[in-house]
Amino acid sequence: MHKDLILASTSPRRKALLTLAGIPFTIVPSPAEEPEPDFGELPAAYAARMARLKAAAVARAHPDAVVLGADSVVAVGDVILGKPRDAADAKRMLGLLSGRVHQVMTGCALFGLAAEPEVFTVATDVHMTPLSEDAIAAYVATGEPMDKAGAYAIQGKAAAFITEIHGSYTNVVGLPLAEVAALLRPRIAMSA
Instruction: Of 85, 118, 123, 132, give the one whose Cα is nearest residue 104.
Output: 123
**CB-CB contact of 91 with 137 (8 Å):** yes
Pairing, β 101-111 against β 79-81 = unpaired
Instruction: Of 108, 125, 112, give the one whose Cα is nearest residue 168.
Output: 125
* Alpha-carbon span 81 to 148, nearest angstrom: 10
Q: Which residues is 164 bridged to in the sheet?
A: 127
Active site positions, annotated:
71
